């Protein structure tokens, strides 16, 4: 099962479909096929493993399939994997996680109904591979990661508005690595007007990554047709709606499972107050400004007892800068909606 999870990690993290791996054993217990899902529209992991086994002349009857996620039970771009395993004569299926997709769930029951032993075998790391997908299926909206970059006194830009570069090359390269795990990058119109960012994923040599997230600009102000977010060979979407819930509903309909939020302090505050930020990735530079734009805008907090608490889950030092990964402990009261999302918004020096 650990091998199946390792294979699943080869799949694209930002794909609309979950990452899944499969290891197929023959009746004698030897590995006869392996596979992983390479993205929407391609064969699922179970089908890849079955095809590999057959191409090598192996008999799949009486075999065992170890799959990192419950075999699907519906027909989409490909047929149901549960039925494919039944047809291949597999006698036992073990899977690490139940399928969170209400449309595809039921594969285990289909297998059991066909007389196949089917066991849930949890293994470390399986849930992390499908975290964003499972969240989207469960909550009906994409998983949201808010990224910020700030000095140790919480400033995302200097008094004159300059913000490049708060953090160093290692931190900026790390941002590109994590951007590549998202299906969309979201900023406000203020960020585009102030900084004209590209919002693309670039490799260490400066070249564009082969797989680019959708670039989403949210707000009611117009942006110039020459804005870099509209070119550079990646897809862009302008959303005139300011409500974070409606923005996420739009992206969910577009099969985006993970949103990377890079908006400035006003946009960040709106999404935090709406209670839709699921993770925070903060890059903190060992520098002081003493004035300038704060990393986040007004959260409606008047007393320390109402502070929005976060739990630290990881800390890493990147050539002097510090990356802190955090999870919300509670959610801000989002009954108050901000009415100034279109104000000047700096993305925080990345």
Give domain limits for the chain.
2-132, 140-328
3-state secondary structure of 188: strand
307 has pLDDT over 60: yes
Distance set, CA 312 to CA 131, 132, 326, 333 (Å)? 18, 19, 4, 21
Contact 34, 52 (CB under 8 A): yes
3-state secondary structure of 25: strand
74-83, 120-129, 228-237 — which one is most confidently predicted on average? 120-129
**In sequence order, what E strands does 19-121 have?**
21-25, 31-36, 64-67, 92-95, 117-120
342 has pLDDT over 50: no
Distance CA(258)–CA(193), nearest Å, equals 25
Annotated binding site: 44, 72, 81, 149, 163, 165, 179, 191, 195, 199, 202, 262, 264-270
Phi, psi (5° rounding) for residue 251? -70, -35
Length of the chain: 350
Task: Pick 204 or 274 by higher pLDDT.
Answer: 274
Distance CA(295)–CA(278), nearest Å, equals 17
Q: How confident is the model at residue 205 (pLDDT cuts 50, 70, 90)?
A: low
Tens digit of each residue's pLDDT (9 = 90 or more) over 25-34: 999 999 999 9
Phi, psi (5° rounding) for residue 22? -145, 135
Q: How large a percentage of the chain has pLDDT more than 90?
A: 64
Tens digit of each residue's pLDDT (9 = 90 or more) over 254-296: 999 999 999 889 999 999 999 999 999 999 999 998 888 888 9
Residue among 46, 83, 124, 253 flagged as catalytic: 46
> Can you tell me the mean pLDDT for 289-308?
88
Active site residue 327: no
Contact 39, 21 (CB under 8 A): no
Domain 2-132 has CATH 3.40.250.10: no
Q: How confident is the model at residue 206 (pLDDT cuts 50, 70, 90)?
A: low
Distance CA(18)–CA(134), nearest Å, equals 8
Question: Pairing relation of β-strands 279-285 and 321-328?
Answer: antiparallel
Average pLDDT for the chain: 88
350 has pLDDT over 80: no
Per CATH, the architecture of 140-328 is what? Answer: 3-Layer(aba) Sandwich (3.40)
Annotated binding site for NADP(+): 149, 165, 191, 195, 199, 264-270
Closest CA to 269 of 303, 242, 237, 295: 295
Annotated binding site for Zn(2+): 44, 72, 81
> Can you tell me the mean pLDDT for 158-185?
89
What pLDDT score does 204 carry? 65
pTM (2 d.p.)? 0.86
Q: How large a percentage of the chain has pLDDT more than 70?
A: 91
């Amino acid at each position: 099962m650990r091998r199946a999870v390792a294979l699943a990690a080869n799949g694209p993290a930002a794909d609309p479909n979950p990452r899944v791996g499969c290891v197929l054993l023959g009746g004698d217990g030897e590995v006869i096929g392996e596979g992983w899902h390479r993205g929407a529209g391609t064969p699922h992991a179970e089908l890849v493993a079955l095809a590999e086994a057959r191409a090598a002349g192996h008999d799949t009857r009486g075999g065992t399939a170890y799959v990192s996620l419950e075999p699907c039970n519906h027909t989409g771009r490909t047929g149901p994997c549960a039925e494919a395993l039944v047809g291949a004569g597999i006698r036992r299926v073990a899977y690490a996680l139940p399928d969170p997709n209400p449309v595809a769930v039921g594969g285990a029951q289909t297998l059991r109904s066909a007389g196949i032993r089917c066991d849930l075998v949890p293994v470390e790391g399986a849930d992390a591979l499908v975290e964003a997908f499972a969240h989207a299926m469960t909550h009906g909206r994409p998983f949201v990661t808010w990224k910020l970059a700030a000095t140790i006194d919480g400033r995302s830009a200097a008094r004159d508005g300059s913000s490049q570069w708060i953090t160093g090359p290692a931190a900026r390269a790390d941002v590109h690595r994590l951007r590549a795990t998202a299906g969309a990058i979201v900023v406000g119109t203020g960020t585009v007007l102030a900084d004209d960012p590209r919002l693309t994923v670039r490799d260490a040599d400066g070249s564009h990554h082969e797989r680019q997230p959708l670039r989403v600009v949210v707000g009611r102000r117009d942006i110039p047709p020459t804005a870099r977010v509209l070119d550079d060979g990646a897809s862009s979407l302008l959303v005139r709606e300011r409500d974070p819930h409606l923005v996420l509903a739009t992206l969910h309909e577009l099969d985006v499972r993970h949103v990377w939020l890079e908006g400035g302090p006003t946009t960040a505050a709106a999404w935090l107050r709406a209670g839709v930020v699921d993770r925070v990735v903060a890059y903190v530079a060992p520098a002081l400004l003493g004035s300038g734009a704060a990393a986040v805008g007004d959260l409606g907090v008047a007393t320390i007892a109402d502070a929005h608490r976060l739990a630290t889950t990881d800390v890493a030092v990147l050539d002097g800068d510090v990356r802190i990964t955090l999870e919300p402990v509670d959610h801000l009261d989002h009954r108050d909606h901000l009415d100034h999302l279109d104000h000047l918004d700096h993305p925080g020096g990345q």
